[in-house]
Structure 1
Amino acid sequence: MNAAPALLGYAAGVGFLAPRLMLHSAWTHRAPALAVAAWHGLTVSFTIAVALAAHHLATPTEHLHADLIGVLHSCGLTTATGAPDPTVADRLAIALPFSVVLVVLGSFAFEVLRGRRARSRHRAVLDMVGRRSPDLCATVLEHDLPAAYGLPGYKPRVVVSQGALRLLSAGQLDAVLEHERSHVAGRHHLVMAAMQAFARVFRRLPLARQAKEQTSVLLEMIADDRALRSQSRDVLATAMYEMAAAKAAPAGAFAVSGPSAVVRLRRVLTPQRRPHVALRGSVAAAAAVVPVIPLLFSCVPTIG
């Protein structure tokens, strides 16, 4: 029996049902870093399942390991006896799954380079109009509107406007700056680039849409949690409220304000316990194992 139907069924479950389960899970906002890992595990698993399904649809009577051995034999990378030289169809069956993976990786590279170019242009502007503040470890803009954002990547920096400095108290300013430093230190731009790449390739898939949207919110929550290490919940909440009307961050940057501010404000003001250690361990294990599951459909012998 060919593994393609099982792989397609699995991909459908991951692509359509798993996002609903994630959205209705109460633990995700209590453990945002773990939730980001779970979303990424699902996207990787879906990509592998689609790639392997493409292979099995092209070779309905063969197993994946047999085709790989044949291709390696023709390339001189193995000396296994009795391995037949692969036909054009065999080569196509290997090329199809690799193409799926390469399209996703190419989209990721595109998103990374596009973000880098946008940040480079903005960084050049900051070098001309901003001034470095050693006390704040940030670049200050002479702008009346409140604004604060992190510019990650090459020569990262945190940017704050003069309007924000006048608006925020010392504690509120520290919370905002710590929030932005978390984005920079955590390389959150690469995490978002991966989700944007997946959403670009599978744009109509519920998993792609929800993974991108939820990861954006969860990364902000991770940064909020870092700010809470140095400031109280009230201080961070008032800072978020004051910055609610802040100028939007430029492309490729992260800002403490944004469309998720209301959800995050409610979370900050309503402290919740972290998920039980058993739940955290189970989710972490599932996030690590789920990308491997599609391989089991391909490698486990099926009954003819």
Structure 2
Amino acid sequence: MTPLLLGLIGLALALPVPALLARTRWPLLVPRAGIILWQSFALAAVLAISGAALSTALWLVTADHLTWWRITLHLVILGIGVLVWTQFWWAAWTVWQETQTRRRRQRHLVDLLGEPDGMAPAIRILQEQTPIAYCVPGRTSPRIVVSQGTISTLSAAEYAAVLEHERAHVRRRHDLVLEAFTVLHRAFPRVLRTDAPLVQSQIMVELLADDAARKSCGEAAVARALVTLAGAPTPAGALGIGSATRIRMDRLLDPDPRNPLASALAYGISAVVLVVPTVFLATPWMVHAIRTLAA
């Protein structure tokens, strides 16, 4: 029974539960806690499917009465678990490779085409009149890229808000958050996953960067810059300011966006999702399996 329950929990956390959660708005009220919530669902799904595969393998070794339908069911669960675990490590490798390649290429391109800002060496200014602003994150050599159109269109306060927004992405390594979500997203076959965690996480890191800019420059400057840069193009592998404008504007218009109740709820659900399957299903079954093998 344990392999089946863990398998059902894993599949539920991979597809229907995130799809239902994505229809609600409350996790967006607390982006930091919301990111933890989405990560807990994705990680718990991988762990549950892995636990189902492991328990299935041990069950096939220790079971006394084997029937064809039970063997078939358990082999299906085992196959899904092996597939998810294999795809997880393959996704981790490919996401890292793809991301590094894109950012290395983009960094080389902006260094070639952009002009360094004399006051801030990490900033590159493109001679382009379309308002553009994004960052190319990295551990050692990040870049903040803006166009001449951005500088000429925005006021000094709005331009400072844009720079602080991008610096928040770089400083807090929001790129690593998105990479982790991408890996967990790719770990499941396409028919067993939803895009909701990845999409929501992209919005939430923008909300967090907005909060950082808001503290330094005020919500009015951030809001005006956001309107100007709405829909601005962002290269693959970079983090830009012009996405999810309406949701972000709603948060900026709130004089106090903190929501302790929603935050506590998100953290509480995260803990339950990660702990309960292990404590109430996996641990007792492992104790039973160890005793059975030792007998």
The reply on whether 1:104 has 2:104 as its aligned counterpart is: no
Would you say the 8 A contact 1:148–1:158 is kept in 2? yes
Q: Which digits, 9 at most, give the CA deviation of each residue in 1:223-254, with x for residues without a partner?
A: 111110112222111111111253x1111101
* Kept after mapping to 2: 8 A contact 1:145/1:161: yes
Residues 1:15 and 2:14 aligned together: yes
List per-residue Cα deviations over 1:22-42 (Å, max 9, x = no partner).
Answer: 335443122101100110111
| Structure 1 residues 279 and 229: alpha-carbon distance in aligned structure 2, compared to 1, 3 A threshold | same
Deviations 1:2-27 (A, max 9, x none): 31121122223323443245335443
Aligned to 1:262: 246
Determine if contact 1:45/1:293 at 8 Å carries over to the other structure: no
2: CA distance, partners of 1:171 / 1:224:
14
Quote the offset at 1:49 in angstroms: 0.6
Q: Mean Cα displacement is larger for which, 284-293 or 111-120?
A: 284-293
Which residue does the alignment assign to 2:73? Answer: none
Q: Conserved in 2, the CA contact under 8 Å of 1:27 and 1:275? A: no
The amino acid that maps onto 2:155 is S
* Structure with the largest fraction of helix: 2
Partner of 1:123: 107
Deviation sequence 1:44-72 (CA, Å, 0-9, x none): 10001111112233332568xxxxxxxxx
- 1:137-176 matches, cutoff 5 A: 138-153=123-138, 154-176=140-162
Q: TM-score, normalised by structure 2?
A: 0.81
Helix, strand or coil at the partner of 2:29 = coil
Aligned partners of 2:87 and 2:188 also within 8 Å: no
Structure 1 pair 136–166 and aligned structure 2 pair: CA distance change class (3 A): farther
1:224 partnered with 2:210? yes
Contact 1:171 1:235 in 2 (8 A): yes
Cα contact 1:43–1:207 (8 A) shared by 2: no
- The TM-score, its normalising length taken from structure 1, stands at 0.79
> RMSD of the TM alignment (CA)?
2.8
- Output the CA distance in 2 between the equivalents of 1:287 and 1:189: 22
* Paired residues for 1:225-244 under 5 Å: 225-244=211-230
Q: How many residues align?
A: 271
Distance 1:9 1:97, change over 3 A: closer
Letter in 2 for 1:56: S
Alpha-carbon distance change, 205 to 221 in structure 1, aligned in 2, over 3 angstroms: farther
Counterpart CA distance in 2 for 1:263 and 1:281 is 21
Residue 175 (structure 2) aligns with: 189
CA–CA distance in 2 between the matches of 1:39 and 1:15?
Answer: 11
**CA–CA distance in structure 2, aligned partners of residues 253 and 274 of structure 1:** 28
Shift of 1:159: 0.9
Structure 2 gap segments, 5+ residues each: 63-76, 289-295
2:124 paired with 1:135: no
1:95–1:213 distance in 2 versus 1, CA, 3 Å: closer
CA contact (8 A) 1:107 1:197 kept: yes
The equivalent residue for 1:78 is: none
Structure 1 stretches of 4+ with a deviation exceeding 6 A read 93-96
Report the AA paired with residue 90 of structure 2.
Answer: G
Aligned to 1:42: 41
Residue 135 of structure 1 aligns to a residue in which SS? coil
Give, in whole Å, the separation in 2 of the partners of 1:294 and 1:203: 22
d(CA) in 1 for partners of 2:237 and 2:225?
22
Query: How big is the shift at 1:94?
Result: 9.8
Counterpart amino acid of 1:196? T
